[in-house]
Amino acid sequence: MKKTTHRRVGKLSSYARTDKPSWLTILNEKQKNKNMKKSNKYRSLIVLSSCVALLGATSVANAAYKGTAGQCANANKVNATWTYNWGSSAPSNLPAGVQFYPMWWGYYGATQAQDTAALTALKNAGYGVLLMYNEPDSSSQANLTVAYALQGYTHASVAANSLGFGNLISPACADDNSTWMQQFMASVKSQGLLCHAVAIHCYQSSASSFLSYVDGIHSRYGYNVYVTEFAPTDWQTPTTITVANCQSFMATAVPGLKSRGYVLDYSWYCGTLPGTGVLQTAALFDSSGNLTTLGTQYKTY
């Protein structure tokens, strides 16, 4: 949703089976039985350890990381683990311990060599995630044709594969169910392009509708999800959404996202302040960077 255009710049069982002991005498038979009991005991321990390891892996996979879309300098105040600003360079006042996710906001005709160099710079700078194009289906945002976006995205995919950079995230559309996105993702699949997750922007007044939308995108494309912009609003009459409405929405939406194993990251939209236009009641911070009532709530998740 961010309106300002940012150009990109250069700136992560098996077990060994032992042979059966031979038995030729009664003594050997007794030894065999003893060894088998031991073996079964150890095998049970191996199976138990494997189950524990699998449970641990599942827990990690289900951990959705909280972020902020904007307000990078204040992201730590809501205990966010990551943030982004629709640009490709971290701000100088990024708090310690908060990861910055760069974005290539649009595609401007760079060559494969140029895009590879740009992604190499990002990787060398320590960035582990790259968000691609901001609402390319919208004329007021990146505004790219599917073919042109695929040209740039293919460059990013080729570069990422060559560099071992796994976290390449799809463009986030104004409508992720749009014909634009369906055509784009169909080409990503048919061409075998890298895509770690599908990015979602979603603004709905109902938390249940929002979560159904997220479920639908996951079901349609079959990828994990990054919800990189969300908050409740009524585009026609935004002020009808009160702070209390936002609190209720958040109380259902955020735990709902965290309970979905395919949702890897989520970030509340922080591009507005209290009393300033659309989404004003959904602001997490005031003009001084202090937490609003809603920001204090977001901090708890």
Average pLDDT over residues 230-239: 87
3-state secondary structure 88-157: CCCCCCCCCCCEECCEECCCCCCCHHHHHHHHHHHHHCCCCCEEEEECCCCCCCCCCCHHHHHHHHHHHH
Average pLDDT over residues 174-191: 98
Give me 141's structure tokens.
């945002």
Q: Which of 275 and 154 is assigned the larger pLDDT?
A: 154
Residue 36 pLDDT more than 80? no
What pLDDT is recorded for position 55? 33
Average pLDDT over residues 285-298: 98
Percentage of residues of the chain with pLDDT beyond 70: 79
Q: What angle do CA 198, 202, 207 make, to 5 degrees?
A: 115
**Residue 51 one-letter amino acid:** C
Phi, psi values for residue 158, rounded to 5°: -60, -45
For residue range 45-98, what is the model confidence (pLDDT) as tens digits? Answer: 333 333 333 333 333 345 589 999 999 999 999 999 999 999 999 999 999 999
What pLDDT is recorded for position 234? 86
Residue 27 pLDDT more than 90? no
What pLDDT is recorded for position 28? 40
What pLDDT is recorded for position 1? 65
What pLDDT is recorded for position 11? 32
Helices (H), the chain: 26-61, 112-124, 146-163, 179-190, 207-221, 243-258, 293-299
Residue 12 pLDDT more than 60? no
Mean per-residue pLDDT of the chain: 85
Contact present, 271 and 277 (Cβ < 8 Å): no
Q: Which of 234 and 224 is assigned the larger pLDDT?
A: 224
CA distance 241 to 279: 8
At 18, is the pLDDT very low, low, confident or very high (cuts 50, 70, 90)? very low
What pLDDT is recorded for position 43? 42
* Of 15-19, 202-206, 247-251, minimum mean pLDDT range: 15-19
Task: Indicate the pTM of the whole model.
Answer: 0.80
